[in-house]
Amino acid sequence: MNKRFVTIVTLAVALLAVAGPILLAIQIASKEGRDAETNRALAYAKDVLSRSDRIAAQIDSGIGTLVAARATDPCSEQNLALMRRIDLASSYIQAIGHVSGDRLACSSLGRHGEGLSLGPVEQIASTGSKVRNNVVLPFATETSFIVIERDGYAAIIHRDLPVDTTTAEKDISLATFTPDNRQVRAARGSIRPEWISALPRPGETTTFLDGSYIVAVAMSTRYATGTIAALPMHHLDERTRSAAMVLVPFGVVAGVVLAFAVLYLARQQLAMPAVLKVALRRKEFFLVYQPVVDLQTGRWIGAEALIRWRRPNGEMVRPDVFIPVAEDTGLIERITQRVIEIVAREAGDLFKRHPDFHIAINLSAADLKSPGAGELLLQLARDVSGGPHNLIVEATERGFMQADVAKEVIRKLRASGIHVAIDDFGTGYSSLSYLETFELDFLKIDKSFVDTIGTEAATSTVVLHIIEMAKALKLEMIAEGVETEAQAKFLRERGVQYAQGWLFAKPMAMADLADNLSIVADAVHA
Ligand code: C2E
Ligand code: CA
Ligand code: CA
């Protein structure tokens, strides 16, 4: 794979991985913000409505009281006193009085001479009340008033009273309107006429987005009144922006960290072949040997060579990690070559002192695809002071897949006297009939099957099948990864001849193997 390609793909994936959740979070923040703003608009609309309802109730009851008094002279001292009492008792009503024609003749403020001009009636509400929306009175020329008249009496309120709620926001728009004629009565801020067309039923509310506004409309149950509250969207944008202010820097950091982590790992993977080459040149590989034990006598009859890689910084890299990379990049043959070189250097003395002892060498699938490794092994068999019988080749099922070349390599090895073992048996796909076409000497029962001995695992009977298969093929068996006496006993009782595992010995350096071998040999002989 091309490095630049991998880098670009990695960056793109890391950015997507980070950008996705952030966009989602901003989306959620924006939706939550919109919900919160909508609720706020609705609360304002309801607040204005309840205020407007209370005002209407005061007007109703004030005018009702005066009508019920049935004064023959509406402007008598007695009736004026009643007006003052009503005015004092009504927190919202500015004044209450008697209307004659279009003039306010007298009110809770006193007699008004020939009367104060109110101007023409603008609306007649469904209740029959006459409404004047914009009346200027001489005692308060700064403001204008709403005058509501019924049966000769009128209540006067400040025009902005219904929408005069205290709010923190300056740019909120509030209005009351008459549903019948869809006319705005009191307003604060800008109100679009089309908002009134969204008419909920009495007692109900509605909310909607209109361009740059979130609008809530509420309708009174008792009076012919609707209210509107509209919040500009920039509140919302602020909320989204502040969410983004928190999330985006976090996301950028996360994205960069993720990208670097992924790139670091990718670089390591990509760099591995190059590093392996350097490691080969610098001779960073060495071997450890794990004894193979005769399950009947306890004698060490041989050992498996296992490769180890110690990096210059002291770090140990597991073969499970670098062997597959070496296999994929064509370096495995050079590694196998190195293993054979090391065995040739280290094992000579051992074979001299223990002529029957064997060393097993792992071959990869690639080693069996060409005759190279086979040639080297034959060379090794000639070089070491022992002979071909001192060597075992371990090949995995995968190694036998390229049947023709592999068969030829194996045939040559066996012809020279080198023994062949099938490794990791049972973990691949090879069938019994397929294996029969190869000439083999040993079958290694994989650790994964040995692990199941004495457990409830469904595979625990597989080990018995493998043993039967080996017997049918007349192969000697070496069980791998034996860790407990119970496993050893089970295998011994079923005719497995040899075993490897921590129960007996862990992989060790050649010097330790040689030392231990003398001691064990002496003990067995004693
Ligand atoms: P493998 O050939 O199946 O080797 C057996 C692995 O099991 C070894 O791991 C060994 O250390 C480990 N082992 C032995 N007894 C026990 C035990 O009782 N318990 C446990 N838990 N483990 C045990 P290692 O040395 O890490 O090797 C791993 C694999 O790497 C080997 O599996 C083999 O496939 C490959 N490998 C190792 N050395 C070479 C080599 O020189 N050439 C090639 N081509 N592959 C090698
Ligand atoms: Ca092996
Ligand atoms: Ca194995």
Which atom of ligand 1 has the smallest separation from the CA of 318? 26
Mean predicted confidence (pLDDT) in 179-201: 84
| DSSP state letter for 416 | H
Residue to substitute in 276, 285, 304, 306 for testing ligand 1 pocket (most ligand atoms within 8 angstroms of CB): 306
Distance from C-alpha of 467 to C-alpha of 483, rounded to nearest angstrom: 19
C-alpha distances (whole Å) from 351 to each of 298, 413, 511 are 19, 19, 13
Question: In terms of pTM, does the model score above 0.75?
Answer: no
Residue 308's contacts (CB-CB under 8 Å, 6 or more residues apart) are 285, 286, 287, 288, 316, 319
Q: What is the mean pLDDT of residues 104-119?
A: 92
State the distance from the centre of ligand 1 to the C-alpha of 306, rounded, in angstroms.
6
Contact 300, 291 (CB under 8 A): yes
β-bridge mates for residue 231, sequence order: 214
How confident is the model over 55-61, as a mean pLDDT? 92
Ligand nearest to the CA of 427: 3
Ligand nearest to the CA of 290: 1
The tens digit of pLDDT for each residue in 274-330 reads: 889 999 999 999 999 999 999 999 999 999 999 999 999 999 999 998 999 898 888
CA of 403 to the centre of ligand 3 (A): 21
**Ligand 1, atom nearest to 500 Cα:** 15
Query: Whose alpha carbon is nearest atom 3 of ligand 1?
Result: 424
Q: Which residues line ligand 1 (CB under 6 A)?
A: 290, 305-307, 318-320, 323, 339, 362, 364, 423-424, 447, 480-483, 500-502, 507
**Whole-number percent of the chain with pLDDT over 90:** 45
Partner residues linked to 173 by β-bridges: 230
* pLDDT class of 493 with cuts at 50, 70, 90: very high
pLDDT digits (tens, 9 = 90+) for 251-276: 778 777 887 787 777 666 667 788 89
Compute, in angstroms, the gap from residue 198 CA to the centroid of ligand 3.
Answer: 77
Please report which ligand is nearest the Cα atom of 425. Answer: 3
More confident residue, 55 or 388: 55
pLDDT exceeds 60 at position 204: yes
Q: What is the mean pLDDT of residues 192-205?
A: 86
Q: How far is the CA of 174 from the centre of ligand 3 (A)?
A: 81
What is the reported pLDDT for 458?
64
Residue 140 gets the label, from left (phi > 0), alpha (psi -120 to 50) or beta, of: beta
Ligand 1 atom nearest to CA at 482:
18
pLDDT in the model for residue 307: 97
Best of 310, 362, 482 to mutate for ligand 1, by most ligand atoms within 8 A of CB? 362
**111-125, 258-272, 455-469: the lowest-pLDDT one:** 258-272
User: Residue 121: CB partners within 8 Å, gap ≥ 6?
Assistant: 102, 130, 131, 132, 149
Q: For residue 446, how far is its CA from the centre of ligand 1 (angstroms)?
A: 10
Q: For 13-129, list the strands marked E by DSSP.
A: 95-100, 103-107, 110-117, 123-124
pLDDT-wise least confident of 149-153, 171-175, 377-381 = 377-381
pLDDT for residue 509 is more than 90: yes
Most confident by average pLDDT, 151-155, 224-228, 521-525: 151-155
Q: Please give the number of the atom of ligand 1 that sits closest to the Cα of 424.
A: 3
pLDDT band, residue 116 (cuts 50/70/90): very high
Ligand 3 centroid–CA 394 distance in Å is: 9
pLDDT value of residue 360? 96
The number of beta carbons lying within 10 Å of the beta carbon of residue 387 is: 14
Q: Rounded to the nearest whole angstrom, what is the distance from the C-alpha of residue 30 to the centroid of ligand 1?
A: 56
Contact (Cβ atoms closer than 8 angstroms) between residue 332 and residue 366 = yes
506 C-alpha vs ligand 2 centroid, how far in Å?
14
CB count, 10 Å around CB of 211? 8
| Structure-token pair, residue 62 | 């004030």
